[in-house]
């Protein structure tokens, strides 16, 4: 009975100590003195998150040694481990670095012009009509024109009509981002080495293993850094078991 009582008291004492150390941390996220709105602030340890307001400010509950992650698709990933000093200061300023702008891929396509076949019968008929209308046979004066010349106006109009009916080769659609590229651009390398304990050789096999899971397609449609990390952590457990 005494053992059960001591266990219960120890449990409540531990819970009370945790609640006493949990603090509401305030801070601001900036980049080159400009405040950043809509940055995801994630407490990876407590599995909670929030976003910065229009002034770049945020508030989130933390404990000592909690791991905070700051994520925005246009900026490099930032990470912070909470210390006593952070909680005492309670006025964090996180500076994020803007990613270099990626140039869109230019696709050059080869277009072949259609071969034009002249209708000999139509040309002969045009020449016959021109001969019938030509009055130079009755006027013995050379006016600089060429007898029996081809009607290039009629021919050129036919060429133009052929170009108008020719459909342009459809442009190649930009390839949709794949799962591997999503992971590389959103998840830092340290997450694989420190959190998942994977080597560079294991990482490539691990990403292929994750890509085979249908849940990875859902992450592509609804990208969320916290959900992505949870997915990778769960798949890492399966990956480790598979290796054993």
3-state secondary structure of 58: strand
pLDDT digits (tens, 9 = 90+) for 22-40: 899 999 999 988 999 999 9
Tell me the percentage of the chain whose pLDDT exceeds 90.
Answer: 25
pLDDT digits (tens, 9 = 90+) for 144-175: 555 555 555 655 566 566 555 545 444 444 34
d(CA 207, CA 232): 9
Quickly count helices (H) and strands (E) in the chain. Answer: 9, 8
Q: What is the mean pLDDT of residues 222-228?
A: 80
d(CA 21, CA 18): 5
Cβ neighbors of 76 (< 8 A, separation 6 or more) are 96, 97, 98, 99
Sequential DSSP letters for 146-189: PTT---HHHHHHHHHHHHHHSPPPPPPPPPPPPHHHHHHHHS-H
Which domains does the chain carry? Answer: 2-95 (2.60.40.10), 120-165 (no CATH), 179-243 (no CATH)
Q: What is the mean pLDDT of residues 224-242?
A: 86
Q: What is the pLDDT of residue 20?
A: 55
Tell me the percentage of the chain whose pLDDT exceeds 70.
Answer: 64
Q: What is the mean pLDDT of residues 108-117?
A: 64
Q: Contact, 61 vs 23, CB < 8 A?
A: yes
Between residues 89 and 101, the one the model is more confident about: 89
Q: Contact, 58 vs 78, CB < 8 A?
A: no
Of the listed ranges 87-96, 132-141, 185-194, the least confidently predicted one is 132-141
List the structure tokens of 215.
């849940």
Q: What is the pLDDT of residue 14?
A: 47
Between residues 188 and 174, the one the model is more confident about: 188
């Amino acid at each position: 009975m005494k053992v059960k009582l001591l266990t219960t008291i120890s449990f409540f004492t531990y819970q009370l100590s945790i609640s006493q150390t949990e603090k509401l941390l305030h801070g601001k996220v900036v980049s080159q003195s400009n405040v950043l709105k809509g940055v995801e602030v994630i407490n990876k340890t407590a599995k909670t998150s929030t976003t910065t307001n229009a002034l770049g400010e945020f508030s989130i509950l933390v404990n000592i040694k909690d791991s905070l992650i700051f994520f925005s698709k246009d900026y490099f990933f930032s990470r912070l481990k909470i210390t006593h000093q952070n909680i005492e200061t309670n006025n964090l300023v996180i500076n994020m670095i803007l990613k270099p702008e990626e140039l869109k891929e230019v696709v050059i396509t080869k277009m072949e012009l259609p071969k034009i076949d002249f209708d000999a019968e139509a040309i002969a008929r045009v020449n016959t009509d021109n001969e019938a209308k030509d009055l130079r046979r009755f006027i013995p004066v050379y006016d600089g024109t060429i007898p029996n010349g081809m009607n290039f106006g009629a021919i050129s109009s036919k060429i133009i009509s052929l170009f108008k009916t020719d459909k342009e080769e459809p442009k190649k659609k930009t390839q949709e981002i794949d799962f591997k590229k999503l992971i590389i651009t959103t998840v830092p390398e340290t997450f694989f080495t420190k959190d998942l304990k994977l080597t560079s050789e294991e990482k490539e096999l691990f990403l292929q293993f994750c890509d085979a899971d249908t849940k990875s397609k859902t992450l592509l449609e609804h990208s969320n850094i916290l959900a992505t990390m949870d997915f990778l952590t769960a798949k890492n457990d399966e990956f480790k078991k598979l290796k054993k």
